Each structure stands twice: as C-alpha cells, then as structure tokens.
Amino acid sequence: MSNLIFGNMTLTSLLLTIIGLVILWIVVSIPVWLAGKAVTGGKATFGEAMIATLFGPIVYAITLIIVDYFLGALIGSTAYIIALILAFVAWIWVYKASFKTGWLGGIAIAILAVIIFAVISIVLGALFGLIVPAPFFPHI
C-alpha cells in the first residue's frame, strides 16, 4: 500500500504509462516527419516533427477551451463551431512554425500526415490483423 501514488496507480504503473506515452509520441511523429520531409524538400527533422506532435494538440485544446469559453458567453452555442475552426487553424500554425513553412505548407503537412498514417495503419493491419476489430467484419 505504501507504493500507491494516485488512486490505484503504483510507481511501476506510472512509469509504464509514461514509457507508453513516449513510445506513442514517437510513433505518431513518424507520419508527421515524413509529411514534413515531403513538403519541405527533405529539410524537416524528426525533432521538428516531435515538437509539432507535442505542441499541436496542446495548442488545439487550449485554443478550443479559451475561445469556446469566452465566445460562448457572448454568442452562445455557435461559439463551439468557431472555436473548433480557430483551434484547427492554431494546430496548422504549430506545423507552420515547427517546419518553417507557409500556411499552405502547414495544411499540406497536416493532410499528408493523415494520409501517411492511414496507409501505415492499413499496411500494419494487413500484416498483423490489427486495424479493425473482428465484430466489424461480416461473418462468412
């Protein structure tokens, strides 16, 4: 009982969670890095991709929460749609700043990263059967 840190979490489970999150961060950075290399003509580094994948969701969430909170008080439920759009623009700005490219380059990196991630997922899914859970396949 003395090794409990938070709720049912032990030091071991906390360390495993942190290691898992770092591995996930690295894996998610790979498609962004490949997209960045394609858009910037090979100038993008893996470090830039890791910075973009670390700060992109943080900036997105902060923008979404702040804009929705303040605009929500002024214009009501429509504020959430505006907050989503502005949060997406903020995420593109992170790509733009991380890879030192223009707005179109940031959008291209975001779109290409999603496509690369989908292709990698399909290939790994075909190799290891991990892409879609069995209940979603029709029974033959």
Q: pLDDT band at 26, cuts 50/70/90?
A: very high
Number of CB atoms found within 10 A of residue 115's CB: 11
Assigned domain for 59 exists = yes
Q: Is residue 53 part of a domain?
A: yes
Instruction: Decide if 71 is inside a domain.
Output: yes
Q: What does the pLDDT look like over 30-49, one tens digit per residue?
A: 999 999 999 999 999 999 99
Q: What is the dihedral of CA 71, 77, 81, 87, to 10 degrees?
A: 40
pLDDT tens per residue, range 79-119: 899 999 999 999 999 999 999 999 999 999 999 999 998 88
Task: Read off the pLDDT of residues 123-137 as tens digits, 9 standing for 90 and up.
Answer: 887 787 765 555 555
Q: What is the pLDDT of residue 52?
A: 95
pTM of the model: 0.77
Whether residue 17 is contained in a domain is answered as: no
For residue 125, the enclosing domain spans 28-136
Does 15 reside within a domain? no
Our count of domains for the chain comes to: 1
Q: Is residue 123 part of a domain?
A: yes
Q: Is residue 4 part of a domain?
A: no
Q: Is 112 part of any domain?
A: yes
Q: How far apart are CA 88 and CA 78, in angstroms?
A: 16
